[in-house]
Amino acid sequence: MKASTLGALVGAALFAACFVDRPTEKYACSTTADCAGFSDNRVCKSNFCVIPSCPADCPMCDEDQKLCPVDCTSAAGCGSVTCPTGWTCTINCTGGNACNNITCEAGSHCAITCTGTDACETVDCSAACKCDLTCATGACNTPRCPVVGNGANQVECTTDGTNTASCDSAHAAGCTKC
């Protein structure tokens, strides 16, 4: 192909590109509120409404802050919920049997509220960096909470220091291990 022909083709392509409709303009935003018109929980990031890359059990999240709010309000509404390593999760299980198993992985921060009959079957925060659990009467089985220290210096991070109470990161020094 001659250089003049190739140059003409490249020039024509560049000229045509100036008139192409830019569909990304409809995704432009200044704040996440600008993304409310989309049905897929988009957030404003770098001035565009994008679908966040949330962990599997986080229906929505703030990726930059690693925040995961989970609200379960109906029977078996959420099934099992896992707060991933390094994330801060607020998990609300407010319906009867709303959550099955809740696991807060190593390095996670969890604030869990369980209300409603058997709202939370199993709560395992034993590996969590920080865990606070509020259970209404009849809402939870005995949780597994973080433990600090060892031997005679071992402390359960629960509201009363026993292994049968709700998790409480303010109970003793070291209960916030992060």
Task: Give the percent of the chain with pLDDT over 90.
Answer: 44
44 and 66 inside one domain: no
84 and 47 inside one domain: no
87 and 40 inside one domain: no
Q: Go through 97-106 and write b for each residue having 16 or more CB atoms within 10 A of its CB, e for each that does not.
A: bbbbebbbbe
10 and 62 inside one domain: no
CA distance 161 to 175: 11
CA distance 68 to 52: 11
Query: How are beta strands 147-148 and 155-156 bridged, if at all?
Result: antiparallel
CB atoms within 10 A of CB 108: 24
24 and 105 inside one domain: no
138 and 65 inside one domain: yes
38 and 75 inside one domain: no
Interval 5-26 mean pLDDT: 55
Interval 129-146: pLDDT, tens: 999 999 999 999 999 999
Could you list the beta-strand ranges (E) of 60-137. Answer: 67-72, 79-83, 88-93, 99-104, 109-114, 120-124, 130-135
Interval 72-114: pLDDT, tens: 887 657 888 999 999 999 999 998 888 889 999 999 999 999 9
99 and 126 inside one domain: yes
CA distance 107 to 105: 6
CA distance 175 to 129: 8
37 and 58 inside one domain: no
CA distance 45 to 64: 10
92 and 40 inside one domain: no
81 and 145 inside one domain: yes
Domain containing 89: what range?
A: 54-178
Q: In one letter, which amino acid is 34?
A: D
Domain total for the chain?
2
Interval 141-164 mean pLDDT: 91
114 and 92 inside one domain: yes
